[in-house]
Amino acid sequence: MKKNRPRFLPDRRTFLKGFSLVLGSTALGFPFFSFGSCQSGGNSDSGTENQADPQTQGNTKKLGIALVGLGGYSEHQLGPALKETQHCYLAGIVTGTPSKIDRWKAEYNIPDKNIYNYQNFDQIANNPDIDVVYIVLPNGLHAEYTIRAAKAKKHVICEKPMATSVEDAVRMLEACRQNNVQLSIGYRLHFEPYNKRVMELGQKQLFGKVQSIEARNGFNITRSNPNVWRLDKKLAGGGPLMDMGIYCVQGACYTLGKAPVAVTARFGEVTHKDYFDEVEQSISWKMEFDDGTIADCSTSYAEGQSLLAGKAEKGWWRVEPAYAYSGKSGETSKGKMDYPDVFEQALQMDAQALSFKNNQKTIVPGEMGLRDVRILMAIYESARNNGKRVPISYA
């Protein structure tokens, strides 16, 4: 069982150093959804048994992944996960901090020729060891480095949120299409048994039609230095909605297997003005679905919360914590959920590597990321307009 790992908040100067922020513009997309079979739960709430995934068939070559950005998530989650993956391995790194190189080289046996900085990043095109580029940078840099990776003819995994604007998300997808590479999003919870069980309960209507959804996610950023990139509008694109609230958006969508038709939202009170002069401290919103189901959601940078719950005609479920890297807990109206604590990032990257190897669409594609950016932007539009109902078009 893996240990809980701390959330790291590198300061904005760390990420600004060595970068030129290149953002651009365009638009299009449609919903994608996934759910897979889960391991059997406890005696009273058992999901379906795991079955062999057809994507596990194919060639046995491990794909080489280069991590772009060596912050806390790469250091404490992705790097260790790549020691456990079966279909991919850590082949290279891209960093603007030379002092990090020796430790990564030693721990992951990375040769000098597979180490890049942000200035020579494009030379990765000439490196056959690297098949996949994983973008683990502040949100405002996702578009630039996804597009550059696509032009280097590398498949791309991009961390959430995919982009800070619909226009950038469209540009990212177009660059990948033009260069015949795949774009996948780092949505790890599609590979995690508690959230997969929620997908099954909702999409298969095992307790009847879903009547309501509740999703909360947040943490207290005010315990750290305010000089972090998550509080920088240019780098983050927004506040907790972009960072933590996207899990709630995802959770509501994959509970039902569809996207909302409209949203309403309101910003919360700012009680820490020295932290939240550029981005929101908190925001709450409702997502309307075409069958009348409402998802009641909220996110905050001043309060810890992690919940995904649903009520249906003949039962209910609740996962809390729902989005943490480990230690999830859940129950349904039939009893306790009982699933193993898995290394989500390892499962995620293995599944993505298999999709790339077999030329199959990943279950968390760039189109899903674009869909979610459209929803995030609609939530912000409603909140800026005092809770006005904002319909969402995916055409």
Catalytic residue annotation: 160, 247
177-205 b/e with 16+ CB inside 10 Å = b? eebebbbbbbbbbbbbbbbbbbbbbbbee
Distance between CA atoms of residues 204 and 317, nearest Å: 14
Instruction: Give start and end residues of each alpha helix (H) in the chain.
Output: 12-16, 72-73, 79-81, 101-108, 142-151, 166-178, 193-203, 233-236, 240, 246-256, 344-358, 366-384
Distance between CA atoms of residues 150 and 237, nearest Å: 22
Which residues have a Cβ under 8 Å from the Cβ of 362 and sit 6 or more positions away? 182, 184, 351, 352, 355, 356
Distance between CA atoms of residues 195 and 324, nearest Å: 11
3-state secondary structure (DSSP) of residue 73? helix
